[in-house]
Amino acid sequence: MPSKDSRLNNAEEDIYRHTILNPNDYPEDWLFTDDRFPLCNGTDEQLLDFLCEIFNPEVRDEQSYWKTFFEKIQELIKVDGYEFYIEHIISNCIVYGWRLKDDKFRIIQPSELNLLIALFNRGGYVLDLSTPAFDELTLKEIGLKLTEFYGKSKGKSLMAYTKEGKENDVIKLLVALFDYYSSNSYYEEERKGDNYQKCLSIVNRIRSGIAYISNSAQELEQRFSSEYMTSQISIMMHMTSENPTEAIGKAKELIESCCKTILEERNEPIPKNEKIGALTRRTMSLLKVTPNDIDDAIPAAKAMKQILGNLSAIADGMATLRNSYGSGHGRVASYKGLEERHAKLAVGSSIILVEFLWCTHERTKKDN
């Protein structure tokens, strides 16, 4: 990023000189009027990305009142339909991301979430877990001691986390609590009741990889995002052992959804009934990641071209597998599907392709 001071090499040196070393050089609100930072006139995404960065553990002062400012800004962005959430945790420090409020849950329904929480939350306690035991469990499952972080009771800390945690991590924690409940002889009589059977059904559905969201391509396109991609990958990897043929169908759908979403976000037409191989090549061409886009003069150009060519071939291979072995096709009783090792190979290949395409899209879409 360029410097506005000709004596300095870049924006970092410029800003440090005129806001830290000489704090009166720039007006207090300089950040909102500096055309290098499109915070006032840019997109919602640019502003939200910036807000997440100012609360990153690498720059925030843990001894300051950052949580007070965080909560205030959280209230403001919720008015516009957004919210901060816990994206991941590093060394017991939270890194925040942002999301649409309505996109909080895709795998589990809110009503199902409430049933599970009601099973665990016992008037501020969580089952019969002591505070140290509860924190040890949450640290193991999600990397964070909840009562220590929130400063609340075990029950309230669990509730707070389910509201701002990433869905995959929330589910991971709830399933771990359910396993603890199911194996605890103290609750043997309770497990004869209807609530336990309902919760058991929810957990079994999640474990078998049957997502709450619709399986239709249209629904996938509407909901595709980095977090959604992560959840679908998790589902597919589990399904390779539970239902290998279904996993292949999901893998093909994910590739199609990824490509169509990229085309849509870049205002490119989406041809109807285009085969997945052609759709993938169209997307790679748009992202400039085909073998022809590699300059022969750069180091290892030949190897890079081979890798990109093999990536595009994944989609064609996935279509063949889907048609021959995947879900959605009637079979005779003697039919035998693929084994788990075959499904893992197919799903793993599709994951490599999708992550590469989506990361390239995310990295370059602002320049598009």
- Output the 3-class SS for the chain: CCCCCCCCCCHHHHHHHHHHHCCCCCCCCHHHHCCCCCCCCCCHHHHHHHHHHHCCCCCCCCCCCHHHHHHHHHHHHHCCCEEEEEEEEECCEEEEEEEEHHHCCCCCCHHHHHHHHHHHEECCEECCCCHHHHHHHHHHHHCCCHHHHHCCCHHHHHHHHHHHECHHHHHHHHHHHHHHHHHCHHHCCHHHCHHHHHHHHHHHHHHCCCCCCCCCHHHHHHHCCHHHHHHHHHHHHHHHHHCHHHHHHHHHHHHHHHHHHHHHHCCCCCCCCCCHHHHHHHHHHHCCCCHHHCCCCCCCHHHHHHHHHHHHHHHHHHHHHHHHHCCCCCCCCCCCCCCHHHHHHHHHHHHHHHHHHHHHHHHHHHHC
User: How many domains, in total, are found in the chain?
Assistant: 3
pLDDT(227) > 90: no
Q: By the 8 A CB rule, do 144 and 173 touch?
A: no
Residues 201 and 250 placed together within one structural domain of the fold: no
More confident residue, 216 or 137: 137
234 & 350 share domain: yes
The answer on 250 and 189 residing in a single domain is no
If asked whether residues 119 and 247 sit together in one domain, one would say no
Same domain, 174 and 126: yes
95 and 153 belong to one structural domain: no
pLDDT category of residue 302 using cuts at 50, 70 and 90: confident
List, for residues 33-91, the tens digit of each pLDDT value: 888 887 877 788 888 888 999 999 888 888 888 989 999 999 999 998 899 999 888 77
In a domain, 136, yes or no: yes
Is 256 contained in some domain?
yes
Domain edge (last residue) among 72, 102, 132: 102
Q: Is residue 310 part of a domain?
A: yes
Task: Note the pLDDT of residue 333.
Answer: 46
Shared domain for 43 and 156, answered yes or no, is: no
Asked whether residue 29 is assigned to any structural domain, the reply reads: no
Q: Does any domain span residue 199?
A: yes
Question: Which of 290, 305, 310, 301 shows the shortest CA–CA distance to 360?
Answer: 290
Which range marks the domain in which residue 121 is found? Answer: 110-207
Where does a domain end: 79, 102, 125?
Answer: 102
Alpha carbon distance 171, 176 (integer Å): 8
201 and 224 part of one domain: no
> pLDDT above 70 covers what percent of the chain?
86
303 and 346 together in one domain: yes
Confidence class for position 367, pLDDT limits 50, 70, 90: low
**pLDDT tops 60 at residue 221:** no
Q: Show which of 102, 121, 141 is a domain's final residue.
A: 102
pLDDT band, residue 329 (cuts 50/70/90)? very low
User: Does 191 map to a domain?
Assistant: yes
In a domain, 33, yes or no: no
- For residues 319 and 242, membership in a common domain is answered with yes
Clarify whether residues 69 and 190 are in a common domain. no
pLDDT category, 120, cuts 50, 70, 90?
very high
Q: Tell me the pLDDT band of 210, cut-offs 50, 70 and 90.
A: very low
pTM above 0.85, yes or no: no
The confidence score (pLDDT) of residue 215 equals 37
Tokens of residue 299, six digits: 């180091």
Do 242 and 200 belong together in one domain? no
Does residue 80 fall inside a structural domain?
yes
Closest CA to 234 of 168, 295, 316, 311: 168
